[in-house]
Amino acid sequence: MATLSSKDIGQLNLRGIEQRQDAYGTQYYFSPSGLYWLFNTLYGRNSKGRKPRLTNELLKAVANTPVGKDWRTLRIKASELPVYTDSVFQLAFYLNGTPPRMLQNTDHLTRVVGDIRFLDRSNILGVVEGTEVILKLTEHECECLMQGELLERNADSKPW
């Protein structure tokens, strides 16, 4: 099993992916820029019909893969869904020019908030036992999504 070196972890941080470890396991925090790197790395790999898992090997690939000529902009869009007397938001994640490959509910939240558990029920990527994945959005990104705006990230994107 591959391990992440301090160089890999530093490169992941630069790409918007933070690793934290505690007695309960490992948490990975992905900013939208981190998802850009992850989704494009996955898009360029052949998973042979299996759902890939978020392993150290995959994270090493994310840390060390250069931007390819066929890489696409990551897009995130929130849709407000009426539920009984309230509304919840569903987030769609996709690379420009591809269909939305992953949807994420905000767990009955009436607002999009900064830290959202992520990939628990993903159909494109599995998590390893003892691992938690969290989408980390800035307050500005949350407000943009709730106003119906499209968030886009690519290799040149600056953090909000």
Cβ–Cβ < 8 Å for 119, 96: no
Question: pLDDT tens for residues 8-60?
Answer: 999 999 999 999 988 888 999 999 999 999 999 988 776 666 778 899 999 99
* Other Cβ atoms within 10 Å of 78 Cβ, number: 21
Which tens digits make up the pLDDT trace of 120-151?
667 778 888 888 998 899 999 989 998 999 99
Residue 1 pLDDT level (bands cut at 50, 70, 90): low
Question: Position 137: which residue type?
Answer: L
Q: What is d(CA 78, CA 98) in angstroms, rounded to the nearest whole number?
A: 17
The C-alpha atoms of residue 3 and residue 138 are separated, in whole angstroms, by: 29
Q: Regarding predicted confidence, which is higher, 112 or 73?
A: 73
Query: pLDDT for 62-90, tens place per residue?
Result: 999 999 889 999 999 988 888 888 777 88
C-alpha to C-alpha distance for 66 and 129, rounded to whole angstroms: 28
Tell whether the model's pLDDT for residue 160 goes beyond 50: no
State pTM to two decimals. 0.88
Measured CA to CA, the distance from residue 6 to residue 18 in angstroms comes to 12
* Higher per-residue pLDDT: 23 or 114: 23
